[in-house]
Amino acid sequence: MVKLLVVGSVALDSVKTPFGQEDDVLGGSASFFATAASYFTEVSVIAVVGEDFPELHLAFLRQRGIDLTGLERRPGKTFRWRGEYSYQLNEAKTIATHLNVFETFRPVVPESHREPEMLFLANIDPELQRTVLEQVRRPRLVACDTMNFWIDGKRPELLRLLKDVDILIINDGEARALAGDPNLVTVARTIQAAGPTTLIIKRGEYGVIMFSKDRVFAVPAFPLEQVKDPTGAGDCFAGGFMGYLSSTGNLGDEALRRAVVAGSVMASYAVESFSLDRLRLLDYKDIEARFKAFKGMTFFEDI
């Protein structure tokens, strides 16, 4: 049985920040998610690449133990994105997007992958996310991501999808746009009423806040001396979060809180270098050390 299945993009990114520039490096939501999740659990990918996609990137993903059975290679070019960040590093300016084979991507879940324990629907068209749900037997946990493009352009389709989603992981701007309200507490109530029992709001340099039923849990961003490239940080957060839950099989409130910290740990490492370069050098001891650092940073006694 597949423990954790992710459906999203595998891409080639070209990124420029004030601290350097890298061209045609491994990117895409599924790549970041699966790499982060692979430190905790077995993860399988549904995505598409072109005939130009470098074998060395596939070798890296396989080396991480990531199952690529559902990765299609089609004639044509791989999805490419080019972006640039200012010193604020809080939002990329998109210079160019070439969807290429991703433009006609229609996810097909292999028969062997149709009973995943957990499913993450990365940021793609909500109608495609829906087709994935229709191809699998109801997983124990379904989480998804989305973006303003779909919130504005396919709101009815997205709202239909959310009825069957347990956890929604989006940033604060997206959450406000989806709920139509500036107050995040009100936003959470509105989104939870639409379907997801848990809402996780990514707030960049201000950390993460999770609304789960009637409880709220917040974690600050980890203070770093060096941030080179924030691309994929949100996907690494989701990968760490879902990977941790998959590894424990526990979906209780305390497990969700630890998963938020695990996701924050993976995101904090991801931004320290371009693409997935920092995660390539990571081992589980590094993860444990930063997890403990998070705990020490946020723990306090009763008054």
Question: Under a CB-based contact definition with an 8 Å cutoff, are residues 78 and 50 in contact?
Answer: yes
Q: Token pair for residue 51?
A: 């005939």
Strands 167-171 and 198-202, how do they pair? parallel
Q: Token pair for residue 131?
A: 């087709």
Running DSSP on this structure, what letter comes out for residue 239? Answer: H
Mean pLDDT of the region 92-117 = 96
Confidence of residue 8 (pLDDT cuts 50, 70, 90): very high
Closest CA to 294 of 197, 182, 218: 218
Tens digits of per-residue pLDDT, 133-190?
Answer: 999 999 999 999 999 999 999 999 999 999 999 999 999 999 999 999 999 999 999 9
pLDDT for the residue numbered 99: 96
pLDDT for the residue numbered 255: 97
Mean pLDDT of the chain: 96
Any idea where the domains of the chain sit in the sequence?
Answer: 4-298
pLDDT for the residue numbered 77: 98
* Helix ranges, 68-125 (H): none
Sheet strands (E) in 51-203: 67-74, 80-84, 93-98, 118-121, 141-144, 167-171, 198-202
Mean pLDDT of the region 101-129 = 97
pLDDT for the residue numbered 104: 96
Q: What percent of the chain has pLDDT over 70?
A: 100
Mean pLDDT of the region 76-87 = 95
Confidence of residue 89 (pLDDT cuts 50, 70, 90): confident
Closest CA to 164 of 186, 135, 188, 184: 135
pLDDT for the residue numbered 154: 96
pLDDT for the residue numbered 44: 98
Confidence of residue 284 (pLDDT cuts 50, 70, 90): very high
Tens digits of per-residue pLDDT, 266-279?
Answer: 999 999 999 999 99
pLDDT for the residue numbered 204: 87
pLDDT for the residue numbered 232: 95
pLDDT for the residue numbered 205: 86
Residue 90, pLDDT above cutoff 80: no
Mean pLDDT of the region 211-219 = 93
Mean pLDDT of the region 237-261 = 97
Q: Top-level CATH class of 4-298?
A: alpha beta
Residue 121, pLDDT above cutoff 90: yes
Left, alpha or beta for 215 (phi > 0: left; psi -120 to 50: alpha)? beta
Name residue, tokens 């905790």.
Answer: 40
Closest CA to 151 of 133, 125, 132, 172: 125
Question: Under a CB-based contact definition with an 8 Å cutoff, are residues 168 and 180 in contact?
Answer: no
Instruction: Tell me the torsion sign for CA atoms 177, 180, 183, 185.
Output: negative
pLDDT for the residue numbered 300: 84
